[in-house]
Amino acid sequence: MAGFREECGVVGVMGDPEAAKLIYLGLYALQHRGQEAAGIVTMDPQGEFHGHKAFGLVGDGFTKDILAKLDGSTGIGHNRYSTSGASRMVQNIQPFSFKTQLGPVAIAHNGNLTNADQLRQELEAHGSIFQSTSDTEVFMHLIARSDKDQLLDRIVEAMKKVKGAYSLVLLTKDRLFALRDPYGFRPLVMGRRGPAVVVASETCALELIDADIEREIAPGEIVEIFPDGFAKSYFPVQSPRKAFCSFEPIYFARPDSQIFGEEIYNLRKKMGAILAREAHVEADVVIAVPDSGVPMALGYAAEAGLPLELGLVRNHYVGRTFIEPSQSIRDFGVKLKLNPVGSSLRDKRVIVVDDSLVRGTTSVKILRMIRKAGAKEIHMRLGSPPITHSCYFGVDTPERGQLLAAQRNVEEIRDFIGADTLAFLSTKGLREALGSNNCNNYCYGCFNGDYPEDPCRPIPPQPTDKTGGPGLKAGF
């Protein structure tokens, strides 16, 4: 898998004296959802925000001394992988914090507002001045400029104006709000750790901090969480359907998480088993492209009755900033991340299972490496249908012109990547894996262009160094 990027991860904690440390651990568990930057904001007993933001991984940007300065029993955190807004601007690192007429507010968001550009222009026309290029700040300006007397009513008003995907946590002096868009594109779950309430993008974050998983926050729901742990729900916005992102179970979510009512590991194994039934080929061994392809390969091998071998070893310590030194060493970047196990591949007919294919350039290098290691035949199997359309709902995807399956048929793709045979999981097979009771609740737009709402892709405005604006003063 190369080309689709993780979106973001959010965590919120209400009512624990070690809130900052719990948020840090939660973000650590959600590191797969964003490795570009991380931030934590806490609220101290005097009603003041404390925060820290840093580029890179959570473990690199937050030390013990930094966490000790993040005072308070309530806070929110965010892992960033930019889907809108310039990526290397510190102003775009969330959570954002502001002072409004109703007091201080901090916000962190996973998703993408498809009408953010339009709303931003309208807000700027009425005097708003933005300090970042992130669509998340649009949500905050809508809240700040509202004439409603209660914050909850302002949030509801903003929800009725924005379109697209958002799983969002919002922190005030005495409350924590968690809300999800009416389609439920992105996951958001809630749990409890003693008297404290915790919300996060995935259950793996709750499990790491020993929080009991309570439930998913429903599409279109606002949960208002009070210091004593009481949580009140509201459903101000309804949608005609649910539209869970189908790439969450295919690739984004951690396999040990439970989202959209399912355990991801089991879903991926089902995808692999169905793929084996749909497109099996005579072979000697099955291998996975680690890590996301492993559960699918397990399912494929079990269904096909073939041994599953470790054919590619992943180096987990490769940073994301590596630059290839020269074009002449074409496979160097991939070799830093993956290396073949010769004894598993030499003189064998190999089935290579991966979760998906986007641009295809990484697959070319991987298959070339496997063939050089001595594989006699290479049969590529993908655990998702061909990706033919871009996503506009919180996933950083290439434009359609860069999607290989949008430009070439299966045989042409097979020839391009250098496989002896190639097959994708069918859309019917994907729906079967997701289950007859749940498959209609998913969005398949990246496979068929059928989006639940019109994806007016936002055009990010030019960066600005201005801050503040009517009704809204920038925080730290």
**Does 439 qualify as catalytic in the annotation?**
no
| Residue 442, CA distances (Å) to 237, 292, 455 in order | 19, 20, 16
Q: For residues 114 and 456, is the Cβ–Cβ distance under 8 A? A: yes
DSSP helix/strand/coil, 463: coil
Closest CA to 307 of 315, 316, 322, 297: 297
d(CA 157, CA 150): 11
Identity (one letter) of the amino acid at 203? T
Closest CA to 236 of 222, 253, 226: 222
Crossing angle of the two packed helices 294-304 and 264-279, in degrees rounded to 10: 50
Burial class (CB in 10 A: 0-12, 13-18, 19+), 82: buried
Choose, from 8, 245, 443, 446, the residue flagged as catalytic.
8
Closest CA to 124 of 475, 468, 447: 468
Tokens found for residue 48? 């003041």
Kindly report the CA angle at 158 between 154 and 161, in degrees rounded to 5? 145
Cβ atoms < 10 Å from Cβ of 65: 7
d(CA 57, CA 61): 6
Residue 349, strand partner residues: 377
Q: What are phi and psi of 171, to 5 degrees?
A: -115, 135
188 CB-near residues (< 8 Å, 6+ apart) = 10, 110, 167, 178, 180, 199, 200, 201, 216, 217
- Could you please report the per-residue DSSP string of 429-446? HHHHHH-TTTGGGEE-HH
Tokens found for residue 248? 């969450």
Residue 42, strand partner residues: 50, 75
Q: For residues 68 and 103, is the Cβ–Cβ distance under 8 A? A: no
d(CA 174, CA 10): 19
How many Cα atoms within 13 Å fall on the side-chain side of residue 303? Answer: 19
H and E: helices and strands count for the chain: 17, 24
Catalytic residue list: 8
